[in-house]
A and B are shown apart, each in its own frame.
Chain A
Amino acid sequence: MKTRLPRKRKVHLRIRVNGETHEVAFAPHKTLLEVLREDMGLTGTKHGCELGECGTCTVLIDGEPQLSCLVLGLECEGMDIITVEGLADGPQPHPLQQSFAELGAAQCGYCTPGILLASKALLDEDPNPPRDRIREALSGNLCRCTGYIKIYEAVELAARRLKDPKAEPSREILRGYEV
């Protein structure tokens, strides 16, 4: 005899997202990505490959970048989750968001939420990362538009701005290199 689970049975959990505790009811087989997008209306986290290959669904779980498409929602009880919606400080964008916008580090923008969060985790750990470290930290986030150079430059600018809010991008970054 096949036993069938009732279709509508949901789990009720408390999840801490962007500093606020939410009570959410969702189907137990949902991934954190589905819970965020469909049950909490937080669509800033994008769904791409859904198989752990592209990185656009990256969120921070207890400060570590993880792929929300491969984490069960019900395993997130009691964990601290940060999504792209939680990056800004009220109306003030995070320095990463500011420098990504200024330097054209987002083109189609689909990979941007994941890259912002992976970059934030990196800067939280290493406020002054060399280019190689940035490259490695973002190696799991696919971007098919920018060619990554602008992304690396934006992360470097954000790193400087986190220490000195008045830091400006170099002339070469804005105008190109003279040859």
Chain B
Amino acid sequence: MAGSGENKTAMMRLSKFKYLAPRSVNDAAKMLADAGPTASVVAGGTDLYPNMKRRHQTPKTLIGLRRVEGMRGVSGTPEGGLRIGPMTTLTALERNATVKAAHPGLWKAVHSISTPILRNMGTLGGNICLDTRCNYYDQNYEWRRAINFCMKCDGDTCWVAPGSKVCLAVSSSDTAPLLCAIGARLHLVSATGEREIAAHELYRRDGIHFLSKRPDELLTEIVLPATNGWRSTYRKLRRREAFDFPVLGVGAWASFDGPVVKEARIFLGAVSPAPVEAAEAAKSLVGTRLEPDAVARASDLAYGPAKPVDNTDFLTRWRKEMTKVYVKGALEDLRGS
């Protein structure tokens, strides 16, 4: 039977592509520039390959990063700022004792991503650049054709909000709100140069063009801020505790002067095409000791910026309501840890 079954089996297959396997960052950047916008880089493949099978993306050239030198692993010290290679698998991060001890917020976010098997494959860089998700988009080709497609792929209409001019697909990365909250920086390299941006600058409120990274740019390093007494945490709401994308994620960060909050940042995930900053809520915490009153006030203030739309699991109104509960939980983590 070897080789014969392929046309008879009902199976979703990858679209056809040319595969390139660069060995260095420079080669990868050059290949990406040469191949143009129809190229895609692939890290773990756990996000891109399902999308290719459902024909959301059909890159003509696929640049596999797994053999690129120097894109894996954790270096530096927590006090000097850890540097993480984007090809580091989520499992490797989860098992890294330094990361777990110095960055419990990041560890929690990573640990909450999908399943142990997928974490063996998926990478931090992949999770940062995760495609936005939507009930009308994450379907196979035939399903999408039956509704005449949607704005994000092959169509014109946003079925979530037919009046909307922009795509409302949801940012579903667990690490994104946390990295935005702690103020991580991202290093981008292209054939023409390199630059470093703050994590929150990577994201745009547009479900189609959700990254400010140019198509020819490669994420090459994630730089965590030096630890000096600040705390961070991540809370996630999902249908199944074992295995699900977030329908709400809360990344929270605070620095302290003794027990008093000096500065704070809160980012909400899975309520918009980009992580959303709850700036008022965070500001209200400055000068407090995260006492119950302060936490309750901040949780109420975080309710405003959370504007989920009806394109993932659960009732939209309930998801918005849960913002208060999950922000409260996150702030209690910060107080308690």
B5 touches A37 (CB 8 A): yes
Q: What residues of chain A lie closer than 8 Å to B5, measured between beta carbons?
A: 37-38
Interface membership of B115, Cβ < 8 A: yes
Q: What residues of chain A lie closer than 8 Å to B15, measured between beta carbons?
A: 29
Q: Main SS of the interface on chain A?
A: mixed
Interface membership of B143, Cβ < 8 A: no
Least Cβ–Cβ distance between A152 and chain B, in angstroms: 14
Q: Interface range on chain B: under 10, 10 to 19, 20 to 34, or 35 or more?
A: 35 or more
Interface membership of B120, Cβ < 8 A: yes
A5 touches B121 (CB 8 A): no
Interface membership of B145, Cβ < 8 A: no
Least Cβ–Cβ distance between B272 and chain A, in angstroms: 25
Interface membership of A91, Cβ < 8 A: no
Interface membership of B197, Cβ < 8 A: no
With A29-B15, A71-B45, A71-B121 known as contacts, the answer to whether A136 contacts B116 (CB < 8 A) is yes
With A38-B2, A71-B45, A75-B64 known as contacts, the answer to whether A51 contacts B121 (CB < 8 A) is no
Interface membership of A82, Cβ < 8 A: no
Chain A positions 79-136 with a Cβ under 8 Å from a chain B Cβ? 118, 136
Q: Which one of B2, B19, B120 contacts A65 once the chains associate, using CB atoms below 8 Å?
A: B120
Least Cβ–Cβ distance between B182 and chain A, in angstroms: 26
Interface digits, A47-73 against B, CB 8 Å rule (1 contact, 0 not)?
100111001001000001111011110
A67 touches B118 (CB 8 A): yes
Interface digits, A30-42 against B, CB 8 Å rule (1 contact, 0 not)?
1100100111110
With A34-B11, A58-B117, A140-B116 known as contacts, the answer to whether A5 contacts B46 (CB < 8 A) is no
CA distance A5 to B15 in the complex (A): 12
Residue of B nearest to A33 (CB): B11
Q: What residues of chain B lie closer than 8 Å to A34, measured between beta carbons?
A: 6, 11, 13
Q: Interface range on chain A: under 10, 10 to 19, 20 to 34, or 35 or more?
A: 20 to 34
Interface membership of B12, Cβ < 8 A: yes
CA distance A123 to B286 in the complex (A): 48
With A29-B14, A29-B17 known as contacts, the answer to whether A70 contacts B45 (CB < 8 A) is yes
Chain A positions 133-179 with a Cβ under 8 Å from a chain B Cβ? 136-137, 139-141
CA distance A52 to B138 in the complex (A): 13
CA distance A50 to B54 in the complex (A): 10
Interface digits, B102-142 against A, CB 8 Å rule (1 contact, 0 not)?
00000000000011111011000000000000000000000
Interface membership of B243, Cβ < 8 A: yes
Least Cβ–Cβ distance between A4 and chain B, in angstroms: 9
Q: Which one of A5, A41, A51, A75 contacts B66 once the chains associate, using CB atoms below 8 Å?
A: A75
CA distance A34 to B9 in the complex (A): 10
Interface membership of B297, Cβ < 8 A: no
Interface membership of A44, Cβ < 8 A: no
CA distance A179 to B21 in the complex (A): 62
New A-B pairs, 4, CB < 8 Å, besides A47-B11, A66-B121: A29-B13, A38-B5, A140-B115, A140-B117
Instruction: Please list the 8 inter-chain residue pairs (A to B) with the smallest Cβ-Cβ separation, ordered nearest first.
Output: A140-B115, A139-B242, A51-B50, A140-B117, A41-B2, A29-B14, A70-B49, A50-B12
**25 sampled A-B residue pairs with Cβ under 8 A:** A29-B15, A29-B16, A29-B17, A31-B13, A34-B11, A34-B13, A37-B5, A38-B2, A38-B4, A38-B6, A38-B9, A50-B50, A51-B54, A52-B49, A52-B118, A55-B117, A64-B120, A67-B46, A67-B121, A71-B45, A72-B45, A75-B21, A75-B64, A136-B116, A140-B118
